[in-house]
Structures are given as C-alpha cells and as structure tokens.
Amino acid sequence: MPQTPKPLVILQPAPQLRDRIFREETLARLNEEFDVLDLEATPSGGSFRAALPDVFAIVGHPELPADTIKVAENLKAIINVEGNFFPNVDYAAAFRQGIRVLGCGPAYSQAVAEYTLGLALDLARGISREDRAMREGTERWVAGSNHDSVLLRKANVGFVGYGNLGRALHRLLKPFNNTIRVYDPWLPTSVLEDADLIPGSLKETLAQSQFVFVFATATAENLHFVNAEALDLLPPGARLILVSRANVVDYDALLERLAQGKIFAAVDVWPTEPLPADSPFRNQENTVLSAHRAGGIPEAFYSIGDMVCDDLELLKAGLPPSRLQIAAPELVTRYRNKPVS
C-alpha cells in the first residue's frame, strides 16, 4: 500500500541558524514528520520557487509578497524563528488565504524575565558597580557603599507593556510582594485586574513606581514615547529597566537624566548596536550596561525548534497551534522592530 506523502516544509531560518534552534534530535523529528527542503544546507532560489505550490509551511524569513503567497496555495503556516515580524511579508495576503502567521517570541520570555530580575536587583544594590570598585581597589566596606541601596521587596513597580515578557516577570516577582501598576493600551483593564495588577495610565505608572520595567514593543505610533516628559515623571532615585525595544525610548533624554543623577537605569537594548566605543553611556556609574543578551541563551534558542515541531505536528493533524505566538492581523503590520544581529 503506498504511503501518504509527508507535508512539505521549507526551512530557511536566516538570520537565525538552523543548528542554533534545532537540537540534533529535534531536527531528526522534523525530518521524520515532514519532507524538509533545507535551504540553509543547500541554498537555491529555484528550489524555493519550485516548491511553493506544494509547501505546507515555511519556517524562516524569505520575501513573501502577495504574488508569491498566491502561488503557495497549500501553505498553512509562516513561522518566524527570529523573534520579530518583519515587513517582508504581505500579511494581509497571508491572512486572506487562511495562512497562520506564527512567531517564536514566547521562547525568549523566561530567559529575558530572569535576566530582567537580575538587572533590577543589581540596580537596587549596586552589585556590578561595587564589583568594579573592588577590582579597582576603591571599594567601600559594609554600609559605606549602601547609601543608595533599596529593597525590591514591597516596592512599587511599574510595567510599561504586559505581553509575554511582562507576564513572565510577573510570575518571578510574586515572592517580592510588590504593588504592580501596568500601562498597556492594548489590554482591557479587566485582564490586568484579573491578574492582580493595577491598571494605570503611563503618567500614573511612571510617577508611582520605584522600579519601572519597559516591555513595550515598537510600533508605528509609539516611537520615543518614553521621552523627556515621561522620564521626568519618575520619582527621584527610580530604577528604569529597558529590555524590549530601543525605539520606544528617547536615549538622549535618558542620558541627560542619568548624567544628572536623577535616576538609575539598566539597559540591554540600544538604538545603535553595537554601542559605540565612545558612547557617554559607558561613563555613567548609575547605569548597568548590557549587550542585548537578555534572551539569547542556548535553552531559549533550542526551545524555538521544539515549538516549531510541536505546532507543525498540530497543524498536520488539523489542530490549531498552541506554543508559538499567533500573529494578530490587527497588530502585525504595526510593529517596527529591528532585526537582532
């Protein structure tokens, strides 16, 4: 009896790397369940175009204008494995054709949340600052370096954005017994209240929080919305943690307030990466610097491959995906995130 052909999957993960997101056994699982056209291993534009009429899913980031999508009449899913929805896909055409658009953002959430908690504790207690001082022989012992230290426990906390990252950090903050206010214009207040959070405006969230975590994604509407006016709402000595998208922050205004000693900040994302060697941010002792490394750990990368296999197998069985993020038609074209190198 002839075997049923396996569904065809195009694998073209660049700028991601195949072996960074698929363990050997996970890649074997993918190949067992699907006929995989691996365009990282054997790049060929001709192979891609020839496969379009039969393709079941595309894992990666090729250019997909409307006319290309139309040819892919059996396509069920476009799976982003980099973490940002780029404008190289005609999303409206994909949705009209009933194609699922999925993203791997949830794979990074736990790693980013744990790192973010570490940044907050560092800002609260000056850990990396005093490490540098001790290496330089200028340390102050016992209480001598604790004049600006605070507790995270029971502190007023603000979240700017409550998506994957905010939810993951919220779970980690439970033992700290914080009062948490959230500004997220994409969520109804009932969702936040059901999570035991206090909904607030941006002004309320910034003005009443000793620790502020900026998780907002970059959109066409919110460029630099954490600007000078917003930063001036922060209480003196507030701790600002930036781990989502640089586009949402006015870094010139932030630098000015850091130089004046008004606030502390931990920054993992930058408008220009790598951060220029002569950037004045490198000279701010009240700032923890990080090279966009919060989420990119091996466990997070490998979880992408696991999620891809899980959801492809669900789709193959005629079931909806459950692990990857499902792109909302109302939002996906509004994102203005930059690729991460």
pLDDT reported for residue 217:
87
pLDDT in tens, 251-306: 999 999 999 999 999 999 999 999 999 999 999 999 999 999 999 999 999 999 99
Q: Where are the beta strands (DSSP E) in 98-188?
A: 100-103, 156-160, 179-183
pLDDT reported for residue 315:
98
Phi and psi torsions of 110, nearest 5°: -65, -40
Q: Residues of CATH 3.40.50.720 domain(s) within the chain? A: 8-104+298-334, 108-289
Element holding 19 (H helix, E strand): helix 18-21
pLDDT in tens, 31-48: 999 999 999 999 887 899
pLDDT reported for residue 62:
94
d(CA 247, CA 222): 8
Cα separations in angstroms, 116 against 50, 110, 153, 200, 248 = 45, 10, 15, 22, 17
Tracing tokens 């696991």 back to the chain, one arrives at 306
Residue 325, by phi and psi: left (phi above 0), alpha (psi -120 to 50) or beta?
Answer: beta
Note whether 267 and 288 are within 8 A (CB).
Answer: yes
pLDDT reported for residue 45:
73
pLDDT reported for residue 161:
97
CATH fold of 8-104+298-334: Rossmann fold (3.40.50)
Task: Give pairs for 90-93: CB < 8 Å, separation 24+.
Answer: 90/64, 90/65, 90/66, 91/327, 91/329, 91/332, 91/333, 92/66, 92/329, 92/333, 93/65, 93/66, 93/69
Q: Which residues pair with 276 in a beta bridge?
A: none
| pLDDT tens for each residue of the chain, 341 residues long | 567 899 999 999 999 999 999 999 999 999 999 999 999 999 887 899 999 999 999 999 999 999 999 999 999 999 999 988 888 999 999 999 999 999 999 999 999 999 999 999 999 999 999 999 999 999 999 999 999 999 999 999 999 999 999 999 999 999 999 999 999 999 999 999 999 999 999 999 999 999 999 999 888 788 899 999 999 999 999 999 999 899 999 999 999 999 999 999 999 999 999 999 999 999 999 999 999 999 999 999 999 999 999 999 999 999 999 999 999 999 888 887 766 65
How far is Cα of residue 37 from the mean position of the Cα atoms in its chain?
A: 28
Q: How does DSSP classify residue 223?
A: T
Quote the CATH superfamily of domain 108-289.
Answer: NAD(P)-binding Rossmann-like Domain (3.40.50.720)
Q: Within a 10 A sphere around the Cβ of 323, how many other Cβ atoms?
A: 17
Phi and psi torsions of 318, nearest 5°: 80, 20
Q: Which residues pair with 135 in a beta bridge?
A: none
